[in-house]
């Protein structure tokens, strides 16, 4: 289940990562949460599996953490760190919803919990 979440996450992140790390080389713009992984990246473009391994290692070592509900490590749109995201809980007797919103780009996701 964790692998699936990370796989999906990586699918979305892979092109962004490669752009950031290997074409633009603008490490200043890399978000804080990604720096522990960045340090471990090989000089050549890594394969998807290598990225997956680096990512899992970083998770194992507690260098990055996934949002417990959404499985993201950062805002999916602008890559703002999880700490910046705003959570709102609402619902009624039957259902509880958690809405997570990024104050930087307006990204928002609502999930049913419990």
Interaction site with Zn ion (CB under 5 A) = 75, 77-78, 80, 102, 104-105, 107
Min dist. Cβ of residue 9 to Zn ion (A): 15
Min dist. Cβ of residue 78 to Zn ion (A): 3
Cβ burial 39-76 (10 Å sphere, 16+ → b, else e) = eebeeeebeeeebbebbeebbeeebbebbeebebbbbb
50 or 109: whose CB is closer to Zn ion?
A: 109
Min dist. Cβ of residue 33 to Zn ion (A): 13
6 or 75: whose CB is closer to Zn ion?
A: 75
Cβ pair 90, 97 in contact under 8 A? yes
Min dist. Cβ of residue 44 to Zn ion (A): 30
33 or 46: whose CB is closer to Zn ion?
A: 33
80 or 100: whose CB is closer to Zn ion?
A: 80
Listed in order, strand segments (DSSP E) in 1-114 are 86-91, 96-101, 108-113
The dihedral region occupied by 62, where left means phi > 0, alpha psi between -120 and 50, and beta the remainder, is left
């Amino acid at each position: 289940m964790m692998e699936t979440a990370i796989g999906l996450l990586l699918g979305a992140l892979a092109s962004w990562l490669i752009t950031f790390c290997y074409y633009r080389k603008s490490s200043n713009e890399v978000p804080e949460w990604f720096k522990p992984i960045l340090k471990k990246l090989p000089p050549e473009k890594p394969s998807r599996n290598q990225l997956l391994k680096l990512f899992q290692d970083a998770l194992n070592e507690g260098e990055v953490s996934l949002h417990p509900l959404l499985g993201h490590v950062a805002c999916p749109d602008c890559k703002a760190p999880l700490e910046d995201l705003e959570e709102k809980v609402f619902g009624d007797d039957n259902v509880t919803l958690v809405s997570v919103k990024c104050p930087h780009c307006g990204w928002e996701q609502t999930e049913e919990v419990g």
